């Protein structure tokens, strides 16, 4: 399965806004009802229980169809379990803190014809760059971004890749060390410079914020996000095309965003990059694995030891090159880490390549 993200023409924004308000009303009703039932009985509602209370809602004036009502209840239950909360946030339809629009739909409730997507008796024009007529459409949703633009997110079936069963040659494998000064360092010594897209537009963004130009602020943030995704897409696609096995260090971005490096970590987009590598590798039959990168910068990639001359702790972060006191090999800190990640990936190949 693959999810297509398709822009909807702006002339349909008002109609979709109206549908999203109905979605918010159903969400808030189910949220409040579930919380009151928990207070009275000490038990949580299931999605099946919520269906009994929302049955027939579309006959009372709701513009969304009954399948969407059921999907809203199911999503509420799923997110409540995920975040371990008795009550989730209220979805607001108006004001400065308006929730971004979201309208779920089932595969049998939509139809595509002549460049338009039909849902709930309304037709929505698309900027269809994928050619939806060539796909079997699955379930999905309409979603709104911060600038008020609407998109259709549709799951479609794609042919499954059947790749070679033999493990890749060592020359076809690559290890990647993710960082902040250099976004990525490849085990062959190539370094990808960090984009620093947010930091490069901070002054421009600050001017718009002081002038209270909210639409301009949103446009700048969207431009930053689009440029970042474009750069990550190009890099990940190139890596998948050139290699048959890719190993990346499992650096934990969620922990680093709680430090004073948060702005740089979020600007880098490590998690997005690894997600792109993962699904592109699956689609093309490339082996992708995240490996433990613990002590990868301190371990000598030549002799495999932890020498006394290695850079240690926070004070050692400024040391970009060092020489192994055991074997005398001179290392670039990031290249050495990438080589160690590659060697740990080779250890996975020695155990056996998984079925793709």
Helix axis angle for 13-41 and 66-83, nearest 10°, is 50
Q: Can you name the residues that pair with 178 across neighbouring β-strands?
A: 184
343 with 276, same domain: the answer is yes
On whether both 152 and 176 belong to a single domain, the answer is no
Measured CA to CA, the distance from residue 11 to residue 316 in angstroms comes to: 56
From 126, 156, 186, the end of a domain falls on: 156
166 phi/psi in degrees, rounded to 5 = -75, 145
How many domains does the chain fold into? 2
146 and 35 together in one domain: yes
Distance CA 71, CA 74 (A): 5
Do 341 and 293 contact (CB within 8 A), yes or no? yes
Model pLDDT for residues 227-257, shown as the tens digit of each residue: 999 999 999 999 999 898 999 999 888 888 8
How far apart CA 246 and CA 76 sit, in angstroms, is: 37
Strand 137-144 and strand 182-186: pairing?
Answer: unpaired
pLDDT at 109 (0 to 100): 92
The widest CA-to-CA distance across the chain, in whole angstroms, is 79
Asked, for residue 62, whether it belongs to a domain, the answer is: yes
Cβ atoms of 117 and 123 closer than 8 Å: yes
Residue 131: how many CB atoms within 10 A of its CB?
8
Residue-wise burial string across 60-83, b where 16 or more C-beta atoms lie within 10 A, e elsewhere: eebbbbbbbbbbbbbbbbeebeee
Whether residue 138 is contained in a domain is answered as yes
Q: Which residues have C-beta within 8 Å of that of residue 230, sequence separation ≥ 6?
A: none
Residue showing tokens 């990059």? 273
pTM recorded for the entire structure: 0.78
For the CA atoms of 311, 316, 319, 324, what is the dihedral angle to 10 degrees?
Answer: -10
The parent domain of residue 110 ranges over: 2-156
Q: What is the pLDDT of residue 170?
A: 61
**How far apart are the C-alpha atoms of 65 and 58, rounded to whole Å?**
6
Token couple for 181? 């000064």
Same domain, 143 and 203: no
Separation between Cα atoms, residue 165 and residue 300, nearest integer Å: 32
Spatial CA neighbour of 105 closest among 16, 25, 13: 16
Residue 287 CB partners (closer than 8 Å, separation 6+): 168, 244, 245, 246, 281, 349, 353, 354, 356
34 and 145, same domain (yes or no): yes
Both 296 and 332 in one domain: the answer is yes
**Under a CB-based contact definition with an 8 Å cutoff, are residues 111 and 135 in contact?**
no
**What pLDDT, on the 0 to 100 scale, is given for residue 165?**
46
Same domain assignment for residues 18 and 73:
yes
Does one domain contain both 150 and 184? no
Mean confidence (pLDDT) of the chain: 88
Q: Are residues 74 and 208 in the same domain?
A: no
- Measured in whole angstroms, the distance separating CA 204 from the mean position of its chain's CA atoms is 27
Tokens of 304: 């495999």
The backbone torsions φ and ψ at residue 55, rounded to the nearest 5 degrees and listed phi first, read: -65, 130
In a domain, 144, yes or no: yes
Q: What is the arrangement of strands in the sheet containing 245-249, beginning at the earlier edge strand? A: 191-193, 182-186, 173-178, 245-249, 287-291
User: Does residue 165 lie within any of the structural domains?
Assistant: no
Query: According to the model, what pLDDT value does residue 355 have?
Result: 41
Which pLDDT score, from 0 to 100, does residue 356 have? 39
Q: What is the CATH number of the domain that holds 182?
A: 3.30.420
Q: Which residues of 239-266 are buried (b: 16+ CB within 10 A; e: fewer)?
A: bbeebbbbbbbebebeebeeeeeeebbe
Which segments of the chain have a pLDDT < 70?
160-171, 314-315, 350-356
Q: Could you say which of 100, 131, 156 is where a domain stops? A: 156
Fill in the DSSP letter of residue 116: E
């Amino acid at each position: 399965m693959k999810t297509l993200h398709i822009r909807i023409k702006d002339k349909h924004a008002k109609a979709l806004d109206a549908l999203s308000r109905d979605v918010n009303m159903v969400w808030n009703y189910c949220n409040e009802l579930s919380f009151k039932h928990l207070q009275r009985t000490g038990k949580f509602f299931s999605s099946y229980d919520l269906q009994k209370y929302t049955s027939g809602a579309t006959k009372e004036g709701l513009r969304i169809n009954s399948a969407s009502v059921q999907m809203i209840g199911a999503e509420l239950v799923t997110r409540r379990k995920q975040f371990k909360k008795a009550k989730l946030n209220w979805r607001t339809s108006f004001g400065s803190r308006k929730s971004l629009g979201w309208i779920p739909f089932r595969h049998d409730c939509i139809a595509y014809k002549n460049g338009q997507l039909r849902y709930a008796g309304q037709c929505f024009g698309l900027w269809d760059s994928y050619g939806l007529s060539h796909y079997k459409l699955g379930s999905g949703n309409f979603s709104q971004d911060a600038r008020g633009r609407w998109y259709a997110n549709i799951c479609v079936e794609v042919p499954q890749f059947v790749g070679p069963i033999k493990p890749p040659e060592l020359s076809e494998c690559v290890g990647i060390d993710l960082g902040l000064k250099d976004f990525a360092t490849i085990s062959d010594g190539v370094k990808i410079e960090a984009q620093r897209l947010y930091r490069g537009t901070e002054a421009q963004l600050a001017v718009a914020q002081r002038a209270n130009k909210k639409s301009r602020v949103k446009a700048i943030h969207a431009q930053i996000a689009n440029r970042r995704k474009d750069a990550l897409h190009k890099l990940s696609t190139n890596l998948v095309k050139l290699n048959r096995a890719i190993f990346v260090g499992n650096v934990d971005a969620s922990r680093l965003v709680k430090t004073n490096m948060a702005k740089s970590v979020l600007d880098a987009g490590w998690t997005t990059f690894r997600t792109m590598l993962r699904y592109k590798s699956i689609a093309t039959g490339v082996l992708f694995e995240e490996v433990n990168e613990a002590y990868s910068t301190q371990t000598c990639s030549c002799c495999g030891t932890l020498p006394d001359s290695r850079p240690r702790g926070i004070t050692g972060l400024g040391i970009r090159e060092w020489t192994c006191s055991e074997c005398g090999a001179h290392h670039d800190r990031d290249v050495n880490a990438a080589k160690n990640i590659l060697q740990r990936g080779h250890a996975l190949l020695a155990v056996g390549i998984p079925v793709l």
